[in-house]
Amino acid sequence: MQGHLSKMRAQLAEQVQYQLPVGDQVIDLNPYIGKQITLTHTGNINCCNCGKKTKKSYSQGFCYPCMQKLAQCDMCIMKPETCHYDKGTCREPQWGESHCMVPHYVYLSNTSGLKVGITRATQIPTRWIDQGATQGLTIIKVKSRLISGLVEVALGEYINDKTNWRAMLKGNNQDMDLKAIAAELLPKIEQTLSHLKLTHGEDAYEVLDSDIQTIDYPVLQWPTKIASHNFDKNPEVTGTLLGIKGQYLIFDTGVINIRKFGSYEITVSEPEASLI
């Protein structure tokens, strides 16, 4: 099977069910855990937006010109508190209306430790799965991406807003009482929340009373030492697939972040049979 990589699709179940898009085809990955497979980069990278060949992939799958012009590649996607839609400088106002000027959720998750993050409603629980979280809890609903970023920054003064991917891949953390943690954190940002209502209206945010979502990943064996595969350094990744967590395939030979290599053309094979 040969085609261009996209980030893995994931479906919440008793254990997360993963699929690997390779061009127009999709591989159900869970049945291959415990088996040997090989991913080989052909050397081709084609932009996921315009399709043109590029020497380097930007923003997880774009060529440089598309990365420069598309709103989904703007810095405010990584730092939502810098959203500039209201200033009239959004690269694609229609895209901004459908993706940024819509309700967002601020959440707590248990990844490599306690983490705060933001996402759209349509990305729950996908966002948590992509980060390798074993627990997730939405705590505040806001009316725009900008507001979610401002709340995240305020909470970031007290807890982490990044995932330590190496720690995340070494095993699951003990469960956390995310509701109790939220109850301790929210009073600490009361001034920020009050200011948001003054500047963005009484409907700027809503504190939620949600249930904690638990997530279990299909992993046979956790790596004790993290070695990272990189198609730019070695075009072939081969080994026994020991598990999947986040957007990482865990082999006995090392791990690879599939999302990092979006738009890379690869061939997928296994020793005894062809993948269907």
Q: What is the pLDDT of residues 216-266, one digit of tens each?
A: 999 999 998 899 999 999 999 999 999 999 999 999 999 999 999 999 999
- What pLDDT does 272 receive? 57
Widest CA span in the chain: 64
> DSSP E strands: which ranges in 71-113?
104-110
Phi, psi of 13 (to 5 degrees): -155, -165
More confident residue, 276 or 24: 24
0.85 cut: is pTM over it? yes
- Tell me the chain's radius of gyration from C-alpha atoms: 20
C-alpha triplet 80, 178, 159: angle, nearest 5°:
45
Contacts of 45 (CB under 8 A, 6+ apart): 53, 54, 55, 56, 57, 263, 264, 265
User: Can the peptide bond before residue 31 be classed as cis, meaning omega within 30 degrees of 0?
Assistant: no
Most confident by average pLDDT, 56-60, 72-76, 83-87, 240-244? 240-244
Distance between CA atoms of residues 61 and 1, nearest Å: 20
The mean per-residue pLDDT over the stretch 97-114 comes to: 95
C-alpha triplet 136, 149, 82: angle, nearest 5°:
150
- Kindly report, residue by residue over 6-47, the tens digit of the pLDDT: 999 999 999 999 999 999 999 999 999 999 999 999 999 999
- What pLDDT does 275 receive? 42
Distance between CA atoms of residues 276 and 109, nearest Å: 35
- Kindly report, residue by residue over 167-203, the tens digit of the pLDDT: 999 999 999 999 999 999 999 999 999 999 999 999 9
Q: Is the CB of residue 28 less than 8 Å from the CB of residue 19?
A: yes
The tokens for 150 are 């401002």
What single-letter amino acid sits at 183? A
Distance between CA atoms of residues 112 and 168, nearest Å: 4
The tokens for 63 are 């060529």
The tokens for 4 are 């261009």
Place of tokens 């040969």: 2
Name the percent of the chain lying above pLDDT 70: 98
What single-letter amino acid sits at 212? I
